């Protein structure tokens, strides 16, 4: 009996050693396999009547430091975020160029200023006028191109988000399948080590896209949660992600988070949903909950960094347009034109609110002598129709000027062949929180065009959508024959104000609504007439000034262009003016008059007030070129920071992964040493079998 037990014991040793050899062989074969962890199979003694009767193999186990594994996964997610940021920011910097580049917007702004300075020295030179127009067209085209490329990148980012979401869903399906296999294998007391390796690899790849947390149930199933605690998968229960990617995006397109009560989904950019999409309240939207990974970087690029660059470009384009148009409308070309046509769409019933006195003079186009002059007070004029009537009936003009709406534009035309010159004087026409001169308001002598109506107003950047603004109202809207007051309290935030505007039935019937627009450094309020009709917004309190409501700012970079008639005929460039003291017979404007030309040149050295916008650009006072330089410098800083962070993040990931591999990976030296031990054990067990067999044979021979 003892001989039989000895033989059986030796056979169990052979079987266990063979199994352990197989484990060692698999370890060596997968020494370079990504995600593979070293496997180990322990053995335990078999007892029979309290006596040793051999050995049995335990289940194959993985060697994994779960805490370090989680740190590696988290750092993998962080490195994914910074890699994407660095990649896109390098592309953005390539688009904008560096501060010293001859192709940068800062260089082109300076170039336009230099062209104006040369023009002011010799305004009668057709070549210098053409040079100004050429530089202006070049700058406008560059701003157009930058804006177009930024929006193209935003669309590409949005589509990449959709692609990643689809890839995550595929991995969730695979994890669900592995969960089922693992629970089944465990029910049969089979090893699940290799299945767990594959599942961990998939979880790590999902973690590259967004930050996740995991826990394992007693039956071996794994649950994967977002960092915000929402379930992605639990066993076989999958909550699929979804995102409706946009084929194209414009400067007005923005993501509105669920926190903006009543406004969710109104920005034209879809959120990232988990489970059944709730597009009404955004309850399923996890966009703002994603704190790391490639998805976090892509969302930030789309909604903050690229949008912030667009915001900065729009600020520059709008300021360039308004600053130069203010001066250009306050003068005239030589000879002055016989007709001025506005660039803004107007209707006779549109509201008007202005102060001050505008001078309209009719000048002989050869001698420059004043033939007629009229000073028209704007106070009390409340519609465009009243403005036209005041011009048409002005005694000083003698009926020689006709103001009318032609093709939707205000047009002033002379009937006696004289030229029209407008002196803006002290006129101030309300445009949200700002004002424009009389001629500039209608765009009668614009240099740049960007926007064709007063149908949209945007606020300055505010810290957040739900931060009380401390403003007083009301907000007063005037359109057609209607006036609507929207109450504003000190405790109201942007969401409250937008909600109140959208809740007003009269505004809704007129097509006027509000939305929130995310900006790199905060949120803006946008109020728009969906039909493109003009309206005025004002406040007896601080609501308009405190919000900084400004017309035609968003999208200005994409729309900026030199006025077509000026582009076709540079001689229409303003150079002189008619003073407020001139009387009939005075010669006020001539070929060498450079008064307005010099003011246009001076606009490039003037210190202008800039609102905070873009990627952390603060409010400050400086020149047009200085602001353009700020955009370039900020992009360079962001790109350098992202590159440094990506290098650091990847280095830290490599260090942690090396530590994990040292503890969980295959060590060839250890495996080869283990092979020697197993070889000796196998040889010894085989020797026992041989000895036992010989003894059995001798015993059999004795019996015979």
Determine the Cα–Cα distance for residues 671 and 120; give it in Å rounded to an integer.
Answer: 85
Mean pLDDT of 38-43: 77
Q: Residue 231 pairs with which residues in a beta bridge?
A: 225
What is the share, in percent, of the chain residues with pLDDT greater than 70? 99
Determine the Cα–Cα distance for residues 371 and 586; give it in Å rounded to an integer.
Answer: 8
Mean pLDDT of 36-64: 77
Instruction: Please check whether residue 312 is in contact with residue 553, taking contact to mean a CB–CB distance below 8 angstroms.
Output: no
pLDDT at 673 over 70: yes
Highest mean pLDDT among 20-29, 88-97, 444-453, 502-511: 502-511
Residue 261's pLDDT is what?
75
Instruction: Please check whether residue 277 is in contact with residue 287, taking contact to mean a CB–CB distance below 8 angstroms.
Output: no
pLDDT at 54 over 90: no
Instruction: Please check whether residue 657 is in contact with residue 34, taking contact to mean a CB–CB distance below 8 angstroms.
Output: no
pLDDT tens per residue, range 327-368: 999 999 999 999 999 999 999 999 999 999 999 999 999 999
DSSP-H helix ranges across 532-667? 543-547, 556-559, 564-568, 595-602, 624-664
pLDDT at 1 over 70: no
**341 CB-side CA count, 13 A:** 13
CA dihedral 70, 72, 76, 78 (to 10 degrees): 80
pLDDT tens per residue, range 155-200: 999 999 999 999 999 999 999 999 999 999 999 988 888 999 999 9
Nearest residue to 208 via CA among 159, 164, 158: 164
pLDDT tens per residue, range 58-115: 777 777 888 898 999 999 999 999 999 999 999 999 999 888 888 899 999 999 999 9
Residue 412's pLDDT is what?
98
Determine the Cα–Cα distance for residues 258 and 287; give it in Å rounded to an integer.
Answer: 9
Return the DSSP state at 461: P
User: How far is residue 322 from each of residues 176, 431, 436, 560, measured CA to CA in Å?
Assistant: 59, 12, 8, 11
pLDDT tens per residue, range 358-383: 999 999 999 999 999 999 999 999 99
Instruction: Please check whether residue 613 is in contact with residue 308, taking contact to mean a CB–CB distance below 8 angstroms.
Output: yes
Ranges assigned E (strand) in 378-474: 401-406, 409-414, 419-423, 428-431, 434-436, 448-449, 456-458
Candidate from 52-66, 119-133, 238-252, 470-484 with smallest mean pLDDT = 52-66
The tokens for 550 are 């400004």
Characterize 200-237 residue by residue with b for buried, 16 or more Cβ atoms within 10 angstroms of its Cβ, and e for exposed: bbbbbbbbbbbbbbbeeeeebbbbbbbbeeeebbbbee
Determine the Cα–Cα distance for residues 514 and 477; give it in Å rounded to an integer.
Answer: 13
The tokens for 187 are 């029910």
pLDDT tens per residue, range 192-222: 889 999 999 999 999 999 999 999 999 999 9
Q: What is the mean pLDDT of the chain?
A: 91
pLDDT band for position 704 (50/70/90)? low
3 state SS of 100: coil
DSSP string, 370-385: EEEEEEEE-TT--BHH
pLDDT band for position 256 (50/70/90)? confident
Nearest residue to 140 via CA among 450, 444, 565, 599: 450
CA dihedral 153, 154, 159, 165 (to 10 degrees): 120
Q: Is the pTM of this model over 0.85?
A: yes
Q: How far apart are the first and last CA of the chain?
A: 19
| Sheet architecture: strand order including 536-539 | 482-486, 475-479, 536-539
Q: How far is C-alpha 350 from the chain's CA centre? A: 35
Instruction: Please check whether residue 628 is in contact with residue 146, taking contact to mean a CB–CB distance below 8 angstroms.
Output: no
Residue 327's pLDDT is what?
97
Residue 273's pLDDT is what?
97
pLDDT tens per residue, range 568-593: 999 999 999 999 999 999 998 888 88
Residue 92's pLDDT is what?
92
pLDDT at 254 over 90: no
Residue 628's pLDDT is what?
95
pLDDT tens per residue, range 452-506: 899 999 998 888 888 999 999 999 999 988 999 999 999 999 999 999 999 999 9
Highest mean pLDDT among 63-77, 252-266, 528-542: 528-542
pLDDT at 449 over 60: yes
Return the DSSP state at 30: T
Characterize 499-531 residue by residue with b for buried, 16 or more Cβ atoms within 10 angstroms of its Cβ, and e for exposed: bbbbebeebeebebbbbbbbbbbbbbbbbbbee
Nearest residue to 337 via CA among 450, 413, 258: 413
Q: Around Cβ 388, how many Cβ atoms within 10 Å?
A: 20
Candidate from 258-272, 356-370, 629-643 with smallest mean pLDDT = 258-272
Determine the Cα–Cα distance for residues 44 and 16; give it in Å rounded to an integer.
Answer: 10
What sign does the dihedral 315-320-321-324 (CA atoms) show? positive
* Residues whose CB falls within 8 Å of the CB of residue 36, separated by 6 or more in sequence, listed in order: 30, 197, 665, 666
pLDDT at 35 over 60: yes
User: How far is residue 80 from each of residues 35, 170, 298, 301, measured CA to CA in Å?
Assistant: 18, 19, 10, 14
DSSP-H helix ranges across 210-358? 293-300, 306-328
Express the helix, strand and coil content of the chain in percent, nearest 5 each: 45, 20, 35
pLDDT at 653 over 80: yes
Nearest residue to 576 via CA among 555, 558, 600, 609: 600
Q: Residue 224 pairs with which residues in a beta bridge?
A: 214, 233
């Amino acid at each position: 009996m003892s001989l039989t037990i000895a033989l059986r014991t030796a056979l169990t040793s052979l079987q266990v050693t063979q199994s352990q050899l197989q484990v060692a062989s698999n370890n060596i074969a997968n020494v370079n396999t990504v995600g593979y962890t070293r496997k180990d199979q322990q053995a335990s003694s078999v007892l029979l009547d309290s006596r040793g009767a051999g050995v049995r193999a335990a289940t194959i186990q993985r060697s994994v430091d779960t805490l370090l594994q989680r740190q590696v996964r988290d750092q993998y997610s962080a490195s994914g975020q910074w890699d994407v940021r660095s990649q896109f920011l390098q592309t953005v910097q390539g688009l904008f160029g560096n501060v010293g580049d001859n192709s940068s917007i800062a260089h082109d702004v300076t170039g336009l200023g230099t062209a104006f300075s040369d023009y002011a020295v010799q305004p009668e030179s057709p070549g210098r006028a053409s040079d100004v127009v050429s530089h202006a067209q070049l700058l406008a085209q560059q701003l157009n191109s930058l804006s177009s490329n930024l929006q193209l990148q935003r669309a590409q980012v949005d589509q990449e988000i959709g692609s990643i979401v689809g890839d995550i869903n595929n991995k969730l399906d695979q994890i669900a399948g592995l969960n089922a296999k693992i629970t089944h294998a465990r029910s049969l007391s089979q090893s699940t080590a290799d299945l767990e390796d594959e599942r961990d690899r998939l979880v790590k790849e999902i973690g590259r896209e967004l930050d996740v947390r995991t826990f394992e149930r007693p039956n071996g199933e794994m649950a994967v949660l977002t960092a915000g605690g929402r379930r992605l998968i639990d066993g076989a229960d999958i909550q699929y992600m979804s995102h409706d990617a946009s084929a194209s995006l414009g400067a007005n397109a923005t993501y509105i988070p669920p926190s903006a009560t009543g406004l969710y989904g109104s920005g034209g950019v879809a959120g990232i949903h988990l489970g059944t999409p709730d597009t009404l309240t955004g309850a399923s939207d996890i966009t703002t909950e994603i704190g790391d990974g490639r998805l976090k970087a892509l969302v930030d690029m789309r909604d903050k960094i690229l949008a912030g660059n667009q915001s900065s470009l729009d600020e520059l384009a709008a300021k360039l347009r308004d600053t130069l148009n203010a001066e250009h409308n306050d003068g005239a070309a030589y000879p002055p034109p016989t007709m001025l046509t506005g660039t803004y769409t107007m209707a006779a019933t549109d509201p008007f609110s202005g102060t001050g006195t505008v001078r309209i003079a009719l000048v002989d186009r050869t001698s420059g002598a004043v033939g007629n002059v009229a000073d028209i007070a704007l106070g009390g004029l409340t519609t465009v129709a009243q403005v036209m009537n005041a011009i048409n009936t002005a005694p000083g003009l003698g009926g020689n000027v006709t103001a009318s709406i032609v093709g939707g534009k205000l047009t002033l035309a002379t009937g006696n062949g004289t030229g029209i010159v407008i002196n803006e004087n002290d006129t101030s026409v309300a445009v949200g929180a700002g004002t424009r001169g009389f001629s500039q308001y209608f765009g009668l002598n614009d240099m740049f065009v960007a926007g064709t109506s007063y149908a949209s107003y945007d606020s300055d950047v505010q810290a957040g959508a739900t931060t009380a603004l401390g403003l007083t109202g009301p907000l007063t809207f005037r359109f057609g024959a209607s006036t609507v007051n929207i109450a504003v309290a000190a405790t109201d935030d942007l969401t409250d104000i937008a909600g109140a505007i959208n809740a007003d039935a009269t505004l809704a019937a007129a097509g006027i609504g509000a939305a929130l627009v995310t900006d790199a450094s905060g949120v803006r309020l946008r109020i728009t007439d969906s039909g493109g009709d003009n309206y005025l917004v004002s406040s007896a309190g601080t609501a308009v000034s405190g919000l900084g409501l400004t017309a035609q700012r968003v999208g200005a970079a994409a729309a900026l262009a030199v006025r077509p008639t000026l582009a076709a005929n540079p001689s229409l460039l303003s150079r002189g003016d008619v003073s407020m003291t001139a009387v009939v017979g005075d010669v006020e404007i001539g070929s060498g008059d450079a008064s307005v030309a010099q003011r246009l040149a001076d606009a490039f050295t003037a210190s202008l007030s800039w609102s905070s916008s873009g990627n952390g650009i603060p409010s400050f006072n400086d020149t047009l070129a200085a602001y353009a330089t700020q955009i370039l410098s900020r992009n360079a800083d962001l790109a350098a920071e992202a590159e440094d962070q990506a290098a650091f993040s990847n280095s830290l990931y490599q260090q942690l992964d090396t530590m994990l591999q040292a503890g969980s990976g295959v060590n060839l030296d250890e495996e080869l040493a283990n092979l020697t031990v197993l070889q000796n054990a196998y040889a010894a067990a085989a020797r026992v079998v041989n000895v036992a067999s010989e003894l059995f044979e001798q015993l059999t021979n004795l019996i015979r």
